[in-house]
Amino acid sequence: MNPGTIPRRPVRIGNASGFYGDRIAAFREMVDGGPIDVVTGDYLAELTMLILWKARKKDPDSGYAKTFLTQMKQVLVDCIDKNIKIVVNAGGLNPAGLAEKVRELAAELDVDVKVAHVEGDDLHPRLSDLQKAGHPLRHLDNGVALADADVEPVSANVYLGGWGITAALQAGADIVICPRVTDASLVVGASAWWHEWTRENFDALAGSVLAGHIIECGPQATGGNYSQINEVVDRRYPGFPVAEVAHDGSFVITKHPDTGGLVSVGTVTAQLLYEVDHPRYLNPDVTAHFDTARVEQEDENRVRVSNVVGTPPPTSLKVAMNYVGGFRNTMTMVLTGLDIEEKAAWATEELFEILGGRKAFDDSDVQLLRFDRSDPVTAAQASAHLRVTVKDRDRSKVDRAFSGAVMELALGGYAGFHTTTPPSSATEFGVYWPTLIPSSEVEHVVVHHDGSRETIPHTAGVAAARTESEPASDEPTHDDGDRPVTRRPIGHVVAARSGDKGGKANVGVWTDSDERWNWLRVHLTVDRFVELVPEATGLNISRYEFANLRALNFVVDRFLGDGVASSTRPDAQAKGLGEYLRARHTDVPDELVDG
């Protein structure tokens, strides 16, 4: 905040979209549900950029989130009447195109609206020049230079910061259409505009980063996807979250009155830990230290977060690249009754004999999914699934040639053969390539509502601030004494939230008392985590402590392979990994278990 400026009241920022395809009615509900100053919407993920590229390949005028226009038809007039600002990243690969579509819609609705948009994230046309200039664009996880990978990216977008949004709002924009900014930048830019922060207000900026991170996924902060199901007594669809961001960067997470769900320390903690790595959270405008945050229940459905420390940002920016990895196809065979494992082995052997062996494909994945029970009382309880996925750069190998081969087992394979779907066609899949680029190589531009262009300078960063790979936190090497224990689900005493970061999976686990925390931090080491999640065996795992939250965060490299778009896992985004961990049995002290 500028010296001498009288602090304004907290800005009320509500998020109405957590992904492209989220609840259409959320925008209407946010505008109608109570007082609001800014509505944000997060439409982009690594996978979404590939989806938008495919859409633009068919129609050069597309490349943005079309559902945003549907929402604007419903609320634009009311937003202008109520002086509600709108800040979204729905622009995707074509923010200028979406901005023009919004202007056309405004003309149809006979409403005067000032629309600005942000540019500068698209590095795809410059990839060759950047490499010639000495930027290897190394993959953040494996260190391979792009030139050595023999791939051709179809998209390359920098995660921009929030100051372009701030500049657009300062110039009078009602709507700011963004491309690939960071998820938190929507809230950072709006908060900095409202409170007139300077670039050196690092603590305040760090608070707004955390606020943006918490509300970016919509109702995940208000009781959705929450492991402590018994705490959510209002099972109506959760109200989307509102962040009341104060001039010092502290904030309250809440929701509109008479909406479903829950806002508690637990729901906020769950989202705080979602898809994070190190407690030092790097953004283009500030480095936010999440392990300094104080999270407290202020009132019913009101959680206050304060004390977030900020330091200068890194000198580099993250880039999300995607390339087409090839084609894949999946067929699922149903196995019923007795001899499940033998039937699965026979089907696998027979299928790949027809197909010319596993080596005929670039990659293949076979998973036996067991749902069957002993002495089943229904046919469903007698069934298991054999899920076979093949991937190859040659579409013809994995198209109907593959799914047709599966159907050849119908009369010549195991007893009871049937599939969950008819023969399927191959689909194109993409591979995510995260890398870094010096911020000095990126021109962050805002195109104001009057058509004028303004270049947004980057905040002076700290080169040493970004360390993408660090050793795990030191782990306790001793137990905490001899106490009666019972082998039971670890979820009886801990909560969890999991998700994806490219090819990585993260699992945040936390608990609700000092006694449980003292046990958790000693008990749940990396070795114990692997014991409970055997599929993580052999993978690099980082373990981080968030003592302020009584939480641990585990980051498992390559758990999802090359990322969501190419993963062959049934749970490609690791959404269920935390719940799987909670279901696993371990020795839990009896005195820590309620009842």
At 156, the amino acid letter reads A
Q: Which residues contact 488 (CB under 8 A, 6 or more apart)?
A: 585, 586, 588, 593
> Given this model, what pLDDT does residue 82 score?
97
Beta bridge partners of 453: 447
> Given this model, what pLDDT does residue 463 score?
66
**DSSP reduced 3-state for 561:** coil
Mean pLDDT value across residues 380-397: 97
pLDDT tens sequence across 251-305: 999 999 999 999 999 999 999 999 999 999 999 999 999 999 999 999 999 999 9
CA distance 27 to 280: 32
Mean pLDDT value across residues 379-383: 96
> Given this model, what pLDDT does residue 436 score?
97
Please state whether the predicted TM-score (pTM) of the whole model is above 0.95: no
pLDDT band at 469 (very low <50, low <70, confident <90, very high): very low
pLDDT tens sequence across 204-241: 999 999 999 999 999 999 999 999 999 999 999 999 99
CA distance 257 to 178: 30
> Given this model, what pLDDT does residue 470 score?
46
Residue 462 clears pLDDT 80, i.e. is over it: no
pLDDT band at 567 (very low <50, low <70, confident <90, very high): confident
> Given this model, what pLDDT does residue 594 score?
83
> Given this model, what pLDDT does residue 565 score?
81
Residue 416 clears pLDDT 60, i.e. is over it: yes
> Given this model, what pLDDT does residue 467 score?
44
pLDDT tens sequence across 19-53: 999 999 999 999 999 999 999 999 998 889 999 99
Output the DSSP codes for 13-47: EEE--SSTT--TTHHHHHHHHS--SEEEE----HH
Q: Which residues contact 318 (CB under 8 A, 6 or more apart)?
A: 140, 158, 159, 282, 434, 435, 436
> Given this model, what pLDDT does residue 479 score?
55
> Given this model, what pLDDT does residue 468 score?
41
Does residue 528 contact residue 287 with C-beta atoms inside 8 Å? Answer: no
Residue 476 clears pLDDT 70, i.e. is over it: no
> Given this model, what pLDDT does residue 465 score?
45
pLDDT tens sequence across 115-171: 999 999 999 999 999 999 999 999 999 999 999 998 999 999 999 999 999 999 999
Tokens 């065996």 sit on residue: 537
**534's tokens:** 């055997």
pLDDT band at 393 (very low <50, low <70, confident <90, very high): very high
Mean pLDDT, the chain, rounded, equals: 94
Does residue 192 contact residue 169 with C-beta atoms inside 8 Å? Answer: no
**DSSP reduced 3-state for 342:** helix
pLDDT band at 466 (very low <50, low <70, confident <90, very high): very low
pLDDT band at 471 (very low <50, low <70, confident <90, very high): very low
